[in-house]
Amino acid sequence: MQTIKAATIQMVSSTRPSDNIATMQRLVAEAAAQGAQWVLLPEYWPIMGVSDTDKIAHAEPFGSGILQQALSDTARRHQITLFGGTVPLQSNSPDKVLNTLLVYDSEGNCRARYDKMHLFGYSGLGEHYSEADTIQPGGTVPHFEMNGWGIAQGVCYDLRFPEFFRAQSPFDVLVLPAAFTYNTGKAHWELLLRTRAVENQCYVIASGQGGTHESGRRTYGHSMIIDPWGDIWAVLPEGEGVLLAELNPARLASVRSRLPALQHRLL
């Protein structure tokens, strides 16, 4: 296991995939220029539509398409591991997509795939969301390793289900692209991220959408990198940008040896 310089990217994606691809490429280049080896993009980076159904028109078959090619090319160009936020992939229903996190290595090869499992539903404070109307849930718990680090994957609403991450044990880093609403994010985002870091004694890299979108929807942002003790090492409240921090295996080992909670698990 080697020390890794990781970056999380925050965006305020528009309704136009071409513009969002250009923004993604610019921000990844900025992260790579600062030495990032791993880069995480937010959920829905290619499109934040006026309607939830807008993403259906941009769904791609797995393995081909403009969005996947852009991710592959960007990872290869900068010789990084790119955790590609989420892109809409075609499902077995014409009215729904898979909301999918794809991971590309420095050669541009897709190394991992996770289709979002838990689908967000919320009504309150003048808002209503029902991802199940346009997204088909995934059914496979992810498992992935890179550079000797065990990596847990989740997307946005998955964050609220601790058993989902326990099912991926053992792991050292949790990556989570998201597009938390402003109201739910303000209440729970930091609390949940730090809790996942503490209970799993792992690094957490979380990437969010962060601002007011063309539809009028406001996302919470506050992309973060958190260490295994639960300390926030970097945070970006709102707007687009890049955060970097080093993931140090010595820090991970120190937390786990001084407080060996993972060894004390009974269930």
Query: Would you say how long the chain is, in residues?
Result: 267
In 3-state terms, what secondary structure has residue 137?
A: coil
Active site residue 131: no
Active site residue 116: yes
Distance CA(82)–CA(174), nearest Å, equals: 14
Active site residue 110: no
257: CB partners within 8 A, 6+ apart: none
Do 176 and 202 touch, CB atoms closer than 8 A? no
Catalytic residue among 116, 202, 238, 240: 116
DSSP codes, 3-28: -EEEEEEEB---S-HHHHHHHHHHHH
Distance of alpha carbon 248 from the chain centroid? 20
Residue 101 half-sphere exposure, CB side, CA atoms within 13 Å?
32
Alpha helices in 180-226 (DSSP H): 182-200
Catalytic residue among 43, 60, 131, 238: 43
Catalytic residue among 156, 202, 238, 240: 156
243: CB partners within 8 A, 6+ apart: 7, 8, 10, 223, 224, 225, 234, 235, 236
Q: Which residues are catalytic?
A: 43, 116, 156
